[in-house]
Each structure stands twice: as structure tokens, then as C-alpha cells.
Amino acid sequence: MSELLKNGETKKEKLKEMLKKLHWGEDEDKVKEEFKDVLQSISPLEIPLIEQELVKEGISSREIARMCDIHVEIFRESVKGAESEVKELPAGHPLRTLYEENIEIMKDAEILNLYASSLLNLEGKNRSNVLRTLESIVRGLKAIGYTHYNREEMIHFPYLERRGPTAVPAVLWRKHDEIRSEINRLLREILKENYEEIGKISQDLASRLIDMVFRENNILYPTLKVLLGEGEFKAIRMLDDEIGYYKIRPGDEWSSNAEPIMPYQIQEEITVEQLMNLPQYLIEEMKSKMGEVKSEPDKTGLIREGDVELEDGYMLPEEISAVFAAMPVDVTFIDKDDRVRFFSGGKRIFTRTTSILGRPVQLCHPPKSVHIVNKILQAFKNGERNRAEFWINMQGRKILIQYFAIHNKEGEYLGALEFTQDVADIKKIEGEKRLLEWR
């Protein structure tokens, strides 16, 4: 660390010189060209430390932020080897998208560090103002967790896992979660206005974010590029949209006519040729974790004989029935002609017997409320309403009865669902009970 700092002294002086020139209005491109060497020599991991030093010496946040932008730009231009291959993929390719997000993440990490450092030199109202800005920056960082990281965990990792190296995604996911939890911890300290802790955690968080960018750009993305085929990237491109992106929109340069391939369709092992092209780090990681997590390729097929193909998955009729029966709700479905087609089994609030299958729903209700049933169904069919809700007290229980209009993907009316549950216990729920507290 002291080596890094000493080394940083010279770089810091150079950067100060650069900022002065920018301050005096010199042309940005000319300045960039002049200081390219020093900017390139700065590793992303050094940036938070250098920024902090500059803040201590009184350089304004505004000017340092400008430096961040130039640094990121140069860093982006200068990447070499594995990373540069990813960088050069056409806009819209899933790996290029991840890469573009990482540029945003790196910028935000630097800005975070910057604001946190400047906080320590301020007092009173100024400090409060910067704290509010910092808070909004940190709240914004949460989105990294549910877009960028979430896409990797849910979409990209399964493609890697099928081929064997499950340890690599596990390590990354663990680190993602550490970052998520640091963000939450930082938010708590911000609310407590605990300035010392805020400074420490911010710096730590910025380093972690930048470290993750580095790992992804140099290990994960090159690995995926070596292993995955066009059909897989095609599928990823489609699925990515369902989760969303961090501060960018994917471009449309890249497109593919390949048949999308889902992870469960993959039966391939890593070839010798692929292995030779993989980043060295990945191979080391695979070797070291071999004993801990199974690294055999997963060739289990998804679709079994008798499976019903549903919108998002495959289940046997027996499984479908058992799932409905296990749900803590009563479900009854009437089709587009108002006839009862299905009701869930298991312990029910309102008993149903198979004698009502095929029966028009109007004949399943007390005659005096049939006109209301018809009104609701009319509103469902003509699209005026999509739900109707009722609740009643019954022997100390609170029964919530919800009706939902059912449509297919094309928007055609398929029928209506009755969804009934006893919510008495739910109403009593307070506080939190988390997975890790399970005994």
C-alpha cells in the first residue's frame, strides 16, 4: 500500500498540473493527449486514493469529477488483450452491453469516493448539502445490484455453470453480495450522519466496485466470449431486456438470426481449444476450487415425457395439480364461456366438488347475487375491469376473495380466476424474518 502511495505522489503532481491547465481553459483534447501517459499508468484501483489526496489539498470536486471523466475515457481507449476484444464487439452484443455498463460503474465509483472524501473537509450546511448528494449517489448505486449484477447471476452464470466451472460464478456472486451489503451499510451510516464511517465505507465500496469491473472485464467477459456460441448470445440478448440495464441502453449494431439457445439445452464440455484461450485466472480458480464445488459439466435435460409446456417452464400434470393443492389459497377457474373448468385441491376454505366442473358459474352462486356476478364478468369481458375484490369475516378468520380477468399473450379473454385466502395471519406479520434466521 505504501508503495502504491509513493508511486502515487508523482502521478498526483502530474494530475494537479493537468487540472490546472484545464482550469485555465486549455483545450481538453490537447490536455488529454499531453497527459495520456500518466493517465494510462494509473490503475483503476489507485484512483480513489489519488482523488482523496487531491481533495485534501483543496482541489474542487467539480474539477476532480472532470478528471474522472478524462481518466475513464483514456482507460477505455487503452485497454488491452482480453478486455479489448470485448470492447470491440458491436454495440448491442450482450458482452459489449456489460462492458458499457462497467464504464458507468467505474465513473460512479470514482464520484462516490470523491464526494465521500470532500465530506471530511467540510462543515455545517455545506457538509449537509454534500451528504444529501452523496445519499442520492449511493441510492443510485443500488441499481447496479438489480440490473448489471442480477443479469450476470440469472442469465450469464447458468451458461457457464452448465459447462462445469460453477466455482467462478459463485465467487463473483459472493462479491456482488458484499457490494450490495456495503451499499446498504453505507446508507445506514449516512442516515446516522456518522461521517467517519461514511468516509471509510465509501472508499472501501469504491474499491470493491472498481475491483469487480476489473474482474468482469478481464475474466468473466473474455471467458463467456470464448465459450458461448451465437445462439446463446442471441438468447441472452432477449432475456437481458427482461431485467434491465444500468444507466445505458444497448445499441442495435449487433443482431443475430441464430436460434436462441437456453442454458438447459446445452450439453457441451469445454474443448481443449477453448481451454487454451481462457483467461489464466479462470483456469487457476477452476483448479483451486475443483474439490469444493463440482466442476463436471451438467448435461441433465429439462423436458421429461408427459411434461406440459407452459409459458415459463415444464411440469407434469401431477406436479401442476400438486402445486395448486399446496398453495395457501383456493383457486377456481372459469373459462371464457363462464363454465367452471378447474379448482385447486388440498385444504380449502370453501369446499368444491367435481360435480361443479362444466357448470355455468351463474348456477354456482346464490340466486340473489347472480346479477352481480354477471356484472363483474361483463366488465371483465369488455375490458372495463381486470379485478374485483371482497373480504368477509368468518369464524375469526378474514377471508379475502379476489377475482381476476384472465387473458392470453394476445390479450384475448380466456376466463376468470377466483383467488381466495385467509389473511388473518398475514395481517399479524410485523418486522422482518429473513432466510438466514431460519432454524
Interaction with its own copies in 69-88: which residues (CB under 8 A)?
none
Query: Considering beta carbons, is residue 12 or 148 the nearer one to its own copies?
Result: 148
Q: Is 349 in the site for its own copies (CB under 8 A)?
A: no
Does residue number 363 form part of the binding site for its own copies (CB under 8 A)? yes
Shorter beta-carbon distance to its own copies: residue 61 or 295: 295
Residues 77-136 that bind its own copies (CB under 8 A): none
257 binds its own copies (CB under 8 A): no
Using CB under 8 A, which of 8, 140, 158, 231 touches its own copies? 158
Q: Are 317 and 304 in contact (CB under 8 A)?
A: no
Interface with its own copies (CB under 8 A), residue from 195, 214, 281, 404: 404
Q: How far apart are CA 81 and CA 99, in angstroms?
A: 14
- Ranges within 162-191 binding its own copies (CB under 8 A): 166, 169-170, 173-174, 177
Q: What is the dihedral of CA 425, 426, 430, 432, to 10 degrees?
A: 120
328 lies in the binding site for its own copies (CB under 8 A): yes
Q: Which is nearer to its own copies, 25 or 431 (CB)?
A: 431
Would you say 226 or 331 has its CB closer to its own copies?
Answer: 331
Between 124 and 367, name the residue whose CB sits nearer to its own copies.
367
Figure out which of the listed residues 325, 378, 383, 384 binds its own copies, where binding follows CB under 8 A.
325
Residue 266, strand partner residues = none
Interface with its own copies (CB under 8 A), residue from 99, 115, 245, 419: 419
Annotate 47-85 with b (16+ C-beta within 10 A) or e (fewer): bbbbbbbbbeeebebeebebbbebbbebbbeebeebbee
Report the greatest alpha carbon distance in the chain.
Answer: 89
Q: Among 56-64, 72-80, 96-104, 353-361, which window interacts with its own copies (CB under 8 A)?
A: 353-361
The CB-of-259 to its own copies minimum distance in angstroms stands at 14
Give CA angle at 158 (154, 161), nearest 5°: 140
Give ∠ CA 315-317-319 in degrees, rounded to 5: 60
Among 91, 122, 283, 406, binds its own copies (CB under 8 A): 406
Under the criterion CB under 8 A, does residue 357 sit at the interface with its own copies?
Answer: yes
DSSP line for 267-308? -PPPPHHHHHHS-HHHHHHHHHHTTTS--S-----SPPTT-E
Near its own copies in 224-253, by CB under 8 A: 235-236, 239, 242-243
Looking at beta carbons only, is 114 or 186 nearer to its own copies? 186
> What is the smallest separation between the CB atom of 320 and its own copies, expressed in angstroms?
6
- Residues 280-319 touching its own copies, rule: CB under 8 A, are 298, 300-302, 308-315, 317-319
> Is residue 427 involved in binding its own copies (CB under 8 A)?
yes
Per CB under 8 A, the segment of 56-64, 77-85, 92-100, 426-434 that binds its own copies is 426-434
Looking at residue 220, the DSSP 8-state letter turns out to be I
* Of 190, 156, 185, nearest in space to 173 by CA: 156
Phi, psi of 80 (to 5 degrees): -125, 170
Q: How far is the CB of 381 from its own copies (least distance, A)?
A: 15
How many whole angstroms separate alpha carbon 137 and alpha carbon 132?
9
The set of cell numbers assigned to 200 is 471509510
User: What letters, b where the CB count within 10 A reaches 16 and e where it falls short, cover 176-191?
Assistant: beebbebbeebbebbe
The whole-angstrom separation of Cα 317 and Cα 90 is 44
Q: Closer to its own copies by CB, 4 or 290: give it.
A: 290
- 5-34: which residues touch its own copies (CB under 8 A)? none
Residue 229 corresponds to which cell in the numbers above? 456460441
- Copy the grid coordinates of residue 150: 442480477
Tell me how far, at minimum, the Cβ of 45 lies from its own copies, in Å: 24
Smaller CB distance to its own copies: residue 22 or 364?
Answer: 364
Strands 340-343 and 330-335, how do they pair?
A: antiparallel
State which of positions 380-399 bind its own copies (CB under 8 A). 388-393, 398
